[in-house]
Chain A
Amino acid sequence: MTESTGTARPFFLWKHLNKLRWLVLATVFSMLVALPFLYLYQTYVAAHAYDLLAPSEKRLYDVMETLTSPFVSDPAEDLDAIKGNTWSGNFFGYKISDPLAVLGQMAASLSFNGTLLLTALIPVLATLLFGRFYCGWICPATFLYELNSNLAVLLRRIGLHTGNHRLDRRIKYLVLGVGLLLSMASGAVLVASIYPPAIVGRELFYGIALGGFGAGTAFFVGTLLFDLLVARRGFCRYLCPGGALYSLLGRFRPVRIRRIVEQCNDCAKCNVVCEFGLDPMRDDFGQECNNCTACIAVCPTDAMTFTLSFHDLPDQGPGHLGKRWQREHARPRQEEAA
């Protein structure tokens, strides 16, 4: 205890980043839910036929008119400013695409698409800086997958068995490679069909605006069941092609989470809470840490912090507040004192 006085405590706001992350995830997801409704409202406006709408459509029209009228004068045109989803979207004239979409499109066409590449510039730069942050902070599928993880906890509490197998994390790189190969061979961007965030964005639109969920929903429900029955967050950990690409891009990210060994007491709460099955307690973050800050939030002794470094520290050994370290180091000091 006495030694820890000299070490730096992590910046106090980092403990609360996990709440901010949930807020961001919920915002992205609710925007994906809101956009189809806004679209329907736009089409009603464009049709100039309020009297012909069904009662439920009229209600939607009225609600959307109330919500948007302070911000737009001509809904049919002005609401076009925000379109799309996290796979590829338009935001006030700026186009942003998922790097996997760009890679998949280039693989399918076997040609260089400069304008499309530019749309992925911001995500790629952010990933080079923050690593796989997309997976924890933005991905609309993550929002549902984390709720699914919480559901698994509830199920376990009432005595139902949920799967928690460990598979090889490198499978997802194989999925990425095979997905790109298949895109190349078929000349169609097939990776879009096995990538959950793209599926969630599309299917929400199909379900709300086009009147029915498509084939992607079946796939996505399959991944939810896989997570529930086979491995916690199994799709993200072991199979997601986008996660693989982001991991590779974020391998040498400068913004990392580090364990302060002097304040760690080996309670292993970080390892339990880590959605990606990493080993923060033994300094094993690797390229697959998505900086979700769940381990920072859960740490009871403030032993997790952010650091600027291109590499993780090698295993720093047991935490200095833990029993094992104190057993190994306390005795000689007592002898000295005696």
Chain B
Amino acid sequence: MKRRTLLKWAALAAAAAATPTLAPAARNRPSLRYLRPPGHWSEEEFLERCIRCGQCGQICPNRCINYFGLENGAASLDTPYIIPREKGCILCMKCGEVCPTGAIPKIRRTAEDIIDGVRMGKARVDTRLCLSYQGKTCGVCYRACPLQDVAIRVGMLEQPQVLDACVGCGLCERSCIQMPQAIRIIPYRG
């Protein structure tokens, strides 16, 4: 019996000793380019809030929210993500309504609130790839943007310029007709 209790405490001590080394292993890898659902937390803050209930994906009418397996580390297991090239966020703000923990904050569906509250990332134009910058008038990203003239502006030959108000929904990257896409969302990681 005594040996049993000793073993038990040894196992507990081993688990306690292993936690600091396991923690960095559980951290996610930054090489994947994905967005979190529309909110404003840094990656750390998001992970400590998300309880992985999956309700954001169950309410997303656009089916853009997907869930991680183990490919992004154990800490992100079953947490939601959006790959903007596959499907952008339409900023319907339903996921924030349904989120029980505030990992996706409640934000009203108005342009002001979205510009203030949503920070998924920021679009960046690669002028070497962009058709408009190559003299072929395009402007698709500008037409796809839900915050036209606030988040993105077009100049001569429909050449896009991303402005500071861009929330990173990814609709421009989704719609870009160039292959590979000339406009990409740089995710906000905090």
- Most B Cβ at <10 Å: residue of A90, A185, A188, A205: A188
Tell me if B49 and A216 are in contact (CB < 8 A). Answer: no
Given A95-B100, A113-B101, A193-B74, does the pair A198, B23 have CB atoms closer than 8 Å? no
Q: Is A189 an interface residue (CB 8 A)?
A: yes
Taking CB atoms, residues of chain B closer than 8 Å to A210 are: 57, 66-67
Q: Is A186 an interface residue (CB 8 A)?
A: yes
Contact with A along B43-81 (1 / 0, CB 8 A): 010011111111101110111001101100011111100
Tell me if B76 and A188 are in contact (CB < 8 A). Answer: yes
Query: In A76-134, which residues have CB < 8 Å from any B CB?
Result: 76, 80, 83-85, 87-90, 95, 97, 101, 104-105, 108-110, 113, 115-116, 119
Tell me if A193 and B77 are in contact (CB < 8 A). Answer: yes
Tell me if B63 and A186 are in contact (CB < 8 A). Answer: no
A213–chain B nearest beta-carbon distance, Å: 10
Tell me if B55 and A88 are in contact (CB < 8 A). Answer: yes
Taking CB atoms, residues of chain B closer than 8 Å to A193 are: 52, 74, 77-78
Contact with A along B1-18 (1 / 0, CB 8 A): 000000010011001100
Q: How far is the CA of A39 from the CA of B57 in the complex (A)?
A: 9
Q: Is B22 an interface residue (CB 8 A)?
A: yes
User: Which B-chain residue is minimally distant from A170 (CB atoms)?
Assistant: B8
Q: Is A35 an interface residue (CB 8 A)?
A: yes
Q: Is A322 an interface residue (CB 8 A)?
A: no
Taking CB atoms, residues of chain A closer than 8 Å to B165 are: none
A24–chain B nearest beta-carbon distance, Å: 21
User: Which A-chain residue is minimally distant from B68 (CB atoms)?
Assistant: A214
Q: How far is the CA of A148 from the CA of B10 in the complex (A)?
A: 34
Taking CB atoms, residues of chain A closer than 8 Å to B79 are: 188
Choose from B53, B70, B75, B98 the contact partner of A188 (Cβ within 8 Å). B75
Query: In A170-211, which residues have CB < 8 Å from any B CB?
Result: 174, 178, 181-182, 185-190, 192-193, 198, 201-202, 205-206, 209-210
Q: Is B94 an interface residue (CB 8 A)?
A: yes
Given A80-B94, A113-B102, A181-B16, does the pair A202, B23 have CB atoms closer than 8 Å? no
Chain A: interface residue total (CB-CB under 8 A): 49
Given A119-B100, A190-B26, does the pair A202, B55 have CB atoms closer than 8 Å? no
- Most B Cβ at <10 Å: residue of A113, A189, A202, A216: A189
Q: Is A154 an interface residue (CB 8 A)?
A: no
Given A43-B63, A109-B49, does the pair A35, B58 have CB atoms closer than 8 Å? yes
Q: Is A337 an interface residue (CB 8 A)?
A: no
Chain B: interface residue total (CB-CB under 8 A): 42
Taking CB atoms, residues of chain B closer than 8 Å to A105 are: 48-49, 51, 101
Q: Is B30 an interface residue (CB 8 A)?
A: no
- Most A Cβ at <10 Å: residue of B20, B69, B102: B69
Tell me if A214 and B94 are in contact (CB < 8 A). Answer: no
Q: How far is the CA of A209 from the CA of B66 in the complex (A)?
A: 10
Tell me if B61 and A182 are in contact (CB < 8 A). Answer: no
Q: How far is the CA of A3 from the CA of B100 in the complex (A)?
A: 57
Taking CB atoms, residues of chain A closer than 8 Å to B31 are: none
Taking CB atoms, residues of chain A closer than 8 Å to B69 are: 214-215
Taking CB atoms, residues of chain A closer than 8 Å to B20 are: 185
Q: How far is the CA of A216 from the CA of B62 in the complex (A)?
A: 24
Q: Is A265 an interface residue (CB 8 A)?
A: no
Q: Is A46 an interface residue (CB 8 A)?
A: yes
B177–chain A nearest beta-carbon distance, Å: 20
A200–chain B nearest beta-carbon distance, Å: 11
B41–chain A nearest beta-carbon distance, Å: 11
Q: Is A42 an interface residue (CB 8 A)?
A: yes
Given A190-B26, A214-B78, does the pair A198, B66 have CB atoms closer than 8 Å? no
Q: How far is the CA of A116 from the CA of B58 in the complex (A)?
A: 19
What are 30 sample pairs from A and B whose C-beta atoms fall under 8 A apart? A36-B58, A43-B63, A46-B61, A80-B98, A83-B55, A84-B53, A84-B54, A85-B53, A88-B53, A89-B53, A101-B51, A101-B53, A105-B49, A108-B48, A113-B101, A113-B102, A115-B100, A116-B102, A178-B12, A185-B22, A188-B48, A188-B50, A188-B79, A189-B52, A192-B51, A205-B54, A209-B57, A210-B67, A215-B70, A216-B77
The 6 closest A-B pairs by CB, nearest first: A88-B53, A188-B75, A46-B61, A109-B48, A185-B19, A192-B52
- Residues on A lying within 8 angstroms of B by beta carbon are 35-36, 39, 42-43, 46, 76, 80, 83-85, 87-90, 95, 97, 101, 104-105, 108-110, 113, 115-116, 119, 174, 178, 181-182, 185-190, 192-193, 198, 201-202, 205-206, 209-210, 214-216
Given contacts A84-B98, A174-B8, A188-B79, 15 further A-B contacts (CB under 8 A): A80-B94, A83-B59, A84-B55, A89-B53, A101-B100, A108-B47, A110-B48, A185-B22, A188-B47, A189-B50, A189-B52, A192-B78, A201-B54, A202-B52, A202-B53
